[in-house]
A and B are shown apart, each in its own frame.
Chain A
């Protein structure tokens, strides 16, 4: 009985942890970028302040906005929150763990994206339409690559559940696998595309020709915008913890014991900080690419996933 209570408490802790950590991760990426560009940059708490400010403000809506437009922020936020809370962040023993399946997570993110694209077109402004169409283009290219990575991993581990993948990587002497290396690079490329980071989309721009995600949510204001922004931050954290959970699971608590949990939380925070800094450095060192080169970028990700699957057969020697 106490075991069940502990599990529920841990799950709630994870729900809270991702929500608290998500704006900080985004803030850290911005801070790293600003410092590298020679600016002082906003403090780490700035995203929290932004969200708090937006929550206080009135939500203005277009006259012809339908219910799709109104419910989208809530659903998108809930889907992303759920996705981020399903990935094992500091422990693999959570009551939701059986649901933390890679394919289910892809489906969660896919439905969030679908709703956002619908909402972008709902009011009927041209920017929303452009944003939605570009977002869907990126999604159609990114999803095959994600599935390829999932196939590679699940062929090797015989499971698509993230906790068991993490436990497998933790428990065996896998070493450095060629397929895993390729899958890691492929998944990172997809994550960059999906979170709208720099070579694909610029999260800080409102320049009409280049924006993708920002164009789609341009009509939102007030608490709706706060939810959408928070969902974007959760998406970034989700990908950070997904990559950390699959490829560098060291430090994850495999039991519900206190010290293990403490180590797990510390390791998770450290991994998130490391990932955010790496992302910031990467973004500063690269220029945004044209929208039509996105196909090449994500095509490359797909091919790397494919190569990973091919090399899996070589190394297992069948």
Chain B
């Protein structure tokens, strides 16, 4: 059995991922959100590497490497280039106020703990804690997608949701590498699709505010103008 301090470090790393999820909700600038996301990816990579070390599972190092390479470097750099290229507003328009969003976030954390507890009553306390953390990161990612109007920040919400999934997967023993690879690549594809999508929205509406999509019924562009 693995000693306590190793679990403590694993949990501290997972908790810092969760904290950075809250930082994502707290940020008001697009650049700040992107930075917080990159930091979160670094934390996920650290958590995965630590699990690889404690579980003696070398393939998890690849998971960590993928997180570090793609999510901490490629995607943030690409996103900030998109932001600069499109000359977006520096501030984020929120649907809910920041404080309300944070409060909702704490509610979601409590909810995920309540959900995980009865479901895993036989499992070890430590696995439970990890699962609760991962589930709350997933829910916070969803919350981020709901409460932000801007397409770029919605992409980041989606990516941080995926961070939660990775965290849940590395916490339990024996995630096959195939699954991990396919998740990583599907996220990359999703990012490309999102990128295309962002450019298309921008082309059509001159903004990345998604509330304009709600009133849009698919008219042809020439009719609109």
Contact = CB atoms under 8 A, between A and B. Distances in A.
Contact of B15 (A178, A299, A303): A178
Contacts, number: 63
Contact of B105 (A178, A303, A313): A303
- Tell me what chain B mostly uses at the interface: helix, strand, loop, or mixed: helix
Interface stretch (B125-133, B182-190, B199-207): B125-133
A226 interface: no
Nearest to B13: A176
Contacts of B106: 303, 306-307, 310
A177 B8 contact: yes
B103 A303 contact: yes
Contacts of B12: 176, 178, 181
Contact of A176 (B8, B98, B117, B132): B8
A247 to B, nearest CB: 13
Shortest beta-carbon contacts, A-B, top 10? A175-B8, A317-B125, A178-B15, A176-B12, A176-B8, A299-B99, A175-B5, A296-B98, A303-B106, A314-B129
A36 B4 CA distance: 40
Contacts of A203: none
Nearest to A316: B125
A310 B106 CA distance: 9
Contacts of B132: 314
Contacts of A182: 15, 19
- Tell me what chain A mostly uses at the interface: helix, strand, loop, or mixed: helix
B95 interface: no
A315 B5 contact: no
Interface string B92-127: 000000110011011001100100010000000100
Nearest to A180: B12
A175 B8 CA distance: 6
B176 to A, nearest CB: 28
B9 A176 contact: yes
Nearest to A314: B129
21 contacts: A175-B8, A175-B9, A176-B5, A176-B11, A178-B15, A181-B12, A182-B15, A295-B99, A296-B26, A296-B98, A296-B99, A299-B102, A299-B103, A300-B22, A303-B22, A307-B18, A307-B109, A311-B129, A313-B113, A315-B11, A317-B125
B22 to A, nearest CB: 7
A173 interface: yes
> For this complex, into which size category does the number of interface residues on chain A fall?
20 to 34
B88 to A, nearest CB: 20
Interface of A: 173, 175-178, 181-182, 185, 295-296, 299-300, 303-304, 306-307, 310-311, 313-315, 317
Contacts of B109: 307, 310
A317 B26 contact: no
Interface residues of B, number: 27
Given A175-B4, A176-B12, A178-B11, 4 more contacts: A178-B129, A311-B15, A313-B113, A314-B129
Given A173-B4, A299-B99, A303-B102, A314 B113 contact: yes
Nearest to B10: A176
Nearest to A310: B110
A168 B8 CA distance: 17
Given A296-B98, A310-B113, A181 B15 contact: yes
A304 B5 CA distance: 23
Interface in B180-224: none
Contacts of A317: 125, 128
A177 B11 CA distance: 8
A304 B106 CA distance: 9
A295 B99 CA distance: 8
Contacts of B99: 295-296, 299
Contacts of B98: 296
B141 to A, nearest CB: 17
Interface in B70-107: 98-99, 102-103, 105-106
Most buried by A among B12, B15, B18, B19: B15
Contacts of B8: 175-177
A178 B125 CA distance: 14
A256 B106 CA distance: 44
A275 B74 CA distance: 35
A179 to B, nearest CB: 9
Contacts of A185: 19
B24 to A, nearest CB: 12
B125 A315 contact: yes
Nearest to B132: A314
Contacts of A295: 99
